[in-house]
Amino acid sequence: MTVALMWEARAVPGRGGELLAWARRQELPRRPLRRETLRAPQDRVLVITWWDAAYDAVLPELPEPDEALVTRAVHRWRFESVESDHGRVE
């Protein structure tokens, strides 16, 4: 099964570049199958990691950034891949 962990934070206005750089520097103790970092308006940063693991597996996640850099606590979500009607994982 493939599990995707999503980590999303919103920087203090004008500090989105700093938050993006901070997120990109964060090393995980294990390497995921894939890792993607995205940004959006309002100084938001999203990091998605994909893992070959059970949905409830203990997996490494990015930490909380310094509270002076963000406007709120990090939002975190966990999703699992599902098969399509044709037996393929979508």
Contact by Cβ (8 Å): 3, 57: yes
Are 20 and 70 in contact, with CB atoms under 8 Å apart?
no
Instruction: Read off the pLDDT of residues 6-62 as tens digits, 9 standing for 90 and up.
Output: 999 999 999 999 999 999 999 999 999 999 999 999 999 999 999 999 999 999 999
CA 44 and chain centroid, separation: 12
Q: What is the pLDDT of residue 88?
A: 64
